[in-house]
Structure 1
């Protein structure tokens, strides 16, 4: 069974003669407990082309020490990683293998480096004897296992204890710097071992486009979304907050870019990829949609006084949402484990390696990108104006939903253009986002009303009163009509001629 530990640490250069200063009195440190020397032996695994190292992931099998076993580390921020642990075994545990899948694909992970360390450990304790941090002086010997090469060095590592104030690391660092000890240039032992044995991670190719061209700008955005899809795969598997939503957004942004910038990338190629992105977003969508709906209905119930919450409404909503959330998560994980998903990831890599560039890809980026964004905006304008011309009802609901999708595409196109067009694109995207948010709130109300009717029927069939569900239905209906009344003003702000003029210049 895998467990996760948040690792917050800093590394420093040292030699065998480096003296660690006395840290008692530093940042609440009342005592330093010397735990002696532990011998650690770790084999690091990666693909032969070092795909994990390229993304700053480390996978190791370590013996010795209190936490021997398999460790997989994901970067969170500078000096912060999530370490996922599994018990010691001869082969890579399945719980960790799945988390590597989006990066390694079909390639085997093999031993690449062996690190043997003599770790001299000292615990920094507060006045109650509770641990604040662990300071270790590590003498490391690295052997390259996929080739030849070895290296030896000494480093100091300070790791924060669980629940301790991160400010302690700043205070300890000041003391170490006063003693002449400087931060390490390498983010991890593995990175240093690869560098010093002559096997640093290969650089990412520049690509076939020239800086300043439309092709260069669009492919940079496409690469950003593909990187997000790959990185969010293990986050979804770990059930991290907002991971499903962010992965779904990356799929949608990428698919939208293919459509918006069809003058740059050939849709004869990208449409097929877009269909697969639509499939993946759809498989992820059930989990996200259920999460949004449950949060909305919970909030609506919170707004009601107790006298209007009749029957076991909380229990009924909880049972419904739990069952549907479990089903949705199984669907999402099945999609990530499918050959179809791996094929999609391989296809995206191939698209970056050999992009289907059209003639406009070689033109100056500002003109091409601005034209694409404004073309999407014209499409949005037609849909909004059509929806506003309709009477309230189902037909208008459908038209507003179509306008919402057009607003999202326009906003994504403007976001992709921001590095090229700067502040005008940022302001434009902000105005369009306001329209999109209003339309999104309206669509959420439509979905909520459908769910409320289903719940009311189930409650009635179970012999419960459906009063509260009907009341919420009425409130959702009123909220939707209020949003429709706000839409003309929001649209007028977004479609102001000066906004358009600024983008095109």
Structure 2
């Protein structure tokens, strides 16, 4: 696994004659360290069409300084970047553990050198009372060489937080601006060097436009003018962004990343199914099938994660078995996320947003069209719930009701920007039903797993312990089953 570090910093542009101000006296800073000069040489890697830079991602191999090696930086907030590091290795061979983290963006395209930066850096550390570094102020004189441009020289100041509080960034920045520095216009040195050569992809541009149209219309009180197609596309754009955002964390096994990526996948598929009058169902059917495949692949890991959390404190033999299956599921997931099938799915999602197959209802006013579509999803859930009493397999019927509740919830979530409180109430009610049935389904899955584990138990003690756990899960399933009727009685249903 690559070393990782959360980088919190602010950048400032400075003129050639800028003089770094006295940084003593900043609140919380006890002293300022002696200046340290570093010579840095960085080679930046990207696809030929600069896909990483277009998504504010940088990948470089840097010599010099205390952290020489490969650095991958991905946006994590306004002033935050998640940085992954690997040893220097070979000059032109990107470490597989780093290239894998950006595979959702590169999608099989070659990573090659696109720019080099030579930096004469002067570092000054802001120290606390015990001598601990609270922040580092780096005064950089940069010479950049792009692919097809003349060398460019500039100066910039970076303030990177170490052990200090976020307020220190603001205080240091105020001191620098007072001395003549200005907030940097570019998010990174590479972005400044490449300039207009970096442009968001057509898919990213379309996603941003879809979201901004809804935001602008609702904030300006013009929601009545929004079409149903615009609302659906904005929702889909949000979910595609989420799939990309959680992809690296899912590969790394980060807490909740697989779950959130899976939810975004399911929301996308649910929107295609629930809004068939808005998007041509015949043309989106193949995409819906591929989304189902991705959700199932993510689900293999997620189901085992849930079991591991439920069985904390269980016999070691069970936990070992779970860990072994979870490792195998992660290997399967990572293999899938490296494959052409997944990359094709991402390309198809980009095309869906950039060039949607709109159907008849897309051009209709969302305020008039969405209530019926949300109500239809709710009615399907109600029908599934009613079938539980007459089903020959009540557990299966509950599972189908849970899936219908998710679809009703997602359908209402999509409509919230236009329908407001009415849609929010549907989201809340559907979520409550989903959660109760989710608790039941989790217990059912746990019981099935425990039955299989008991068949492999080697000692009486292990078999007994597994039997105790089975009894607890059975009680949980019955509790959720009994709670379902009460929860349903408290739902009001759509009212627009």
Q: Which structure 2 residues correspond to residues 391-406 of structure 1 after superposition, within 5 A?
A: 395-406=393-404
**Is the CA contact 2:402–2:438 (under 8 Å) kept in the aligned structure 1?**
yes
Which residue in the other structure is 1:429 paired with?
Answer: 427
Q: Which structure 2 residues correspond to residues 423-502 of structure 1 after superposition, within 5 A?
A: 423-459=421-457, 461-494=458-491, 496=492, 499-502=493-496
Q: 2:324 matched to 1:327?
A: no
Partners of 1:216 and 1:50 in 2: CA distance: 29
Structure 1 range deviating more: 104-113 or 240-249: 104-113
Which residue in the other structure is 2:383 paired with?
Answer: 382
* Selected match of 1:215 from 229, 234, 243: 229
Which residue in the other structure is 2:129 paired with?
Answer: 127
Q: Which structure 2 residues correspond to residues 130-279 of structure 1 after superposition, within 5 A?
A: 130-145=132-147, 147-161=148-162, 163-195=163-195, 198-202=196-200, 204=202, 205-206=205-206, 212-279=226-293
Structure 1 range deviating more: 276-285 or 406-415: 276-285
Q: How much does 1:438 deviate?
A: 0.6
Which residue in the other structure is 1:59 paired with?
Answer: 59
Partners of 2:465 and 2:254 in 1: CA distance: 33
Question: CA offsets, 1:220-246, max 9 Å, x none?
Answer: 211222222223222222222211111
Structure 1 range deviating more: 163-172 or 118-127: 163-172
**Secondary structure in structure 2 of the residue aligned to 1:351:** helix
Which residue in the other structure is 1:307 paired with?
Answer: none
**Is the CA contact 2:366–2:418 (under 8 Å) kept in the aligned structure 1?**
yes
Partners of 2:81 and 2:283 in 1: CA distance: 38
Partners of 1:247 and 1:51 in 2: CA distance: 21
Which residue in the other structure is 1:282 paired with?
Answer: 296
* Selected match of 1:103 from 75, 98, 105: 105
**Can you give the 5+ residue segments of structure 1 that lack an aligned partner in the other structure?**
302-312
Q: How much does 1:18 deviate?
A: 2.3
Partners of 1:148 and 1:19 in 2: CA distance: 29
User: How many equivalent residue pairs?
Assistant: 478
**Can you give the 5+ residue segments of structure 2 that lack an aligned partner in the other structure?**
215-225
Which residue in the other structure is 2:348 paired with?
Answer: 347
**Is the CA contact 1:115–1:140 (under 8 Å) kept in the aligned structure 2?**
yes
Q: How much does 1:383 deviate?
A: 0.8
Q: How much does 1:180 deviate?
A: 4.6
Distance 1:360 1:15, change over 3 A: same
**Is the CA contact 1:8–1:159 (under 8 Å) kept in the aligned structure 2?**
yes
**Secondary structure in structure 2 of the residue aligned to 1:241:** coil
Structure 1 range deviating more: 76-85 or 475-484: 475-484
Partners of 2:265 and 2:246 in 1: CA distance: 11
Structure 1 range deviating more: 133-142 or 39-48: 39-48
Q: How much does 1:153 deviate?
A: 2.4
Q: CA RMSD in A?
A: 2.3
Partners of 2:251 and 2:365 in 1: CA distance: 41
Q: How much does 1:346 deviate?
A: 2.0
**Is the CA contact 1:194–1:201 (under 8 Å) kept in the aligned structure 2?**
no
Q: How much does 1:178 deviate?
A: 4.4
**Secondary structure in structure 2 of the residue aligned to 1:107:** coil
**Secondary structure in structure 2 of the residue aligned to 1:129:** coil
Q: How much does 1:389 deviate?
A: 5.1
Question: CA offsets, 1:352-409, max 9 Å, x none?
Answer: 333211111111122222222111111100111121456xxx8211111110000001
Q: 2:414 matched to 1:416?
A: yes
**Is the CA contact 2:423–2:494 (under 8 Å) kept in the aligned structure 1?**
no
**Secondary structure in structure 1 of the residue aligned to 2:456:** helix
Partners of 1:58 and 1:171 in 2: CA distance: 27
Question: CA offsets, 1:314-359, max 9 Å, x none?
Answer: 3123212211111111111111122211222222223333321111
**Is the CA contact 1:79–1:187 (under 8 Å) kept in the aligned structure 2?**
no
Q: 2:65 matched to 1:70?
A: no
Partners of 1:240 and 1:482 in 2: CA distance: 31
Which residue in the other structure is 2:223 paired with?
Answer: none
**Is the CA contact 1:31–1:124 (under 8 Å) kept in the aligned structure 2?**
yes
Partners of 2:322 and 2:249 in 1: CA distance: 22
**Secondary structure in structure 1 of the residue aligned to 2:255:** coil
Q: How much does 1:57 deviate?
A: 0.6
Partners of 2:323 and 2:353 in 1: CA distance: 40
Q: 2:40 matched to 1:48?
A: no
Structure 1 range deviating more: 241-250 or 366-375: 366-375
Question: CA offsets, 1:98-142, max 9 Å, x none?
Answer: 122111113223333332222111122223222222111112233
**Is the CA contact 2:315–2:462 (under 8 Å) kept in the aligned structure 1?**
no
Q: How much does 1:23 deviate?
A: 2.3
Partners of 1:249 and 1:242 in 2: CA distance: 11
**Secondary structure in structure 1 of the residue aligned to 2:333:** helix
